[in-house]
Chain A
Amino acid sequence: MVIASEAGPSKSGREKEGSPEEKDDRTFECNICLDTAKDAVVSMCGHLFCWPCLHQWLDTRPTRQVCPVCKAAISEDKVIPLYGRGSTKQEDPRNKVPPRPPGQRTEPENNGGFPGFGFGDGGFHMSFGIGAFPFGFVTSSFNFGDHHHQRPAHGAGRGMALLDEDPFVSKIFLWVAAIFIMWLFYA
């Protein structure tokens, strides 16, 4: 134990030593493959992974779903996909959708045309989760009945609070949003 705690400070010291460029790269490395995260997702405890990597980890230990970094409880339906500008340019994100979690993450119609995100390319799939903070919570509440997991005690961030709101209220919001989208399309 003594040794491990001694190693702590020296580790952070080492990470500061790297060139700024190297350090920046490492910030966006997947915690499993140690490569730059592809199809990135972030857990509620804030740890970054490639979706395929995290999926394989959860698959390997179906009875013990914990974060590979901090061991907080995690689950497939409570990871947030990250869509960076660079990544959408390089590859059509729709190609990346199939391996992502089912349920709310593949519900395209409900988030398709949210304002502030381009309709032009018809990227229904890709629009999920970006910039549309309220929608994240709407779609999450979709699966409330059957996918509810205990949330990790210390992993509850600001956004988590929304997930706990009354599903009924959420559904109303959903319908309002849907009507709004329809209006945008046909106006």
Chain B
Amino acid sequence: MANNIAAQRIQREFKEVIKSDEVAKCAIRVELVNDNYTELKGEIAGPPDTPYEGGNFVLEIKVPETYPFNPPKVRFITKIWHPNISSVTGAICLDILRDQWAAAMTLRTVLLSLQALMAAAEPDDPQDAVVAKQYKDDQEMFRLTAKHWTAKYAGGPGGNPDFEMKIRRLTDMGVEEDQARVALSSYNWDLERATEQLFS
């Protein structure tokens, strides 16, 4: 019964979202992953005037049997540098995906809320403490790092030769690239401290 409602609702929402303006404007996208509507793939365009602009962020959406009475389980598949999203697992800290969920919310409102979260981080309720600290202590460093991640993982514009060079220095030492990027990002691109951390 519950399962039935979940599948039926996702089916309706899916039809609604693919007709929506936001899809027409390529701001959000939803794709089915399986036939029984229990898993979907979401996509969000990085909001303008943010370090995520120009990037395309893919999300894993798992629909629980108790949907819509409980929220969908959503996480970023595309790596992202954001205070409320884990830079390692893509787990999201957003109230509507937890206790502030309401049964009338839809996939569309979830994706739009996530897009809004990307535009306005809440560093005081962080998912990734390291990112949140950087966000609070050094906005410019945060912006550059987030932009670099967007270029690297989400197909965003612009490279950062300085960052690239530092990553190459670490990969030359046998460090895996993603790991090198996380370490450098976490230490404000201080090569020495990142190396220390990686080899300690």
Contacts and interface: CB of A to CB of B under 8 A. Distances in A.
B13 A34 contact: yes
B84 to A, nearest CB: 14
Interface stretch (A62-70, A89-97, A136-144, A176-184): A62-70
A32 interface: yes
Contact of A7 (B2, B9, B22, B120): B22
B102 interface: yes
A52 to B, nearest CB: 9
Interface in A59-84: 60, 64, 66-69, 71
A57 interface: yes
Interface stretch (B62-70, B132-140, B142-150): B62-70
Given A3-B112, A60-B66, A10 B119 contact: no
A71 B96 CA distance: 12
B19 A32 contact: no
20 contacts: A1-B120, A2-B119, A4-B112, A7-B22, A10-B22, A11-B21, A13-B21, A31-B103, A31-B104, A32-B9, A32-B104, A33-B9, A34-B12, A34-B13, A53-B5, A57-B69, A57-B103, A60-B70, A67-B102, A71-B102
Interface of A: 1-4, 7, 10-11, 13-14, 31-35, 47, 53, 56-57, 60, 64, 66-69, 71
Interface of B: 2, 5, 8-9, 12-13, 19-22, 27, 47, 49, 66, 68-70, 99, 102-105, 112-113, 115-116, 119-120
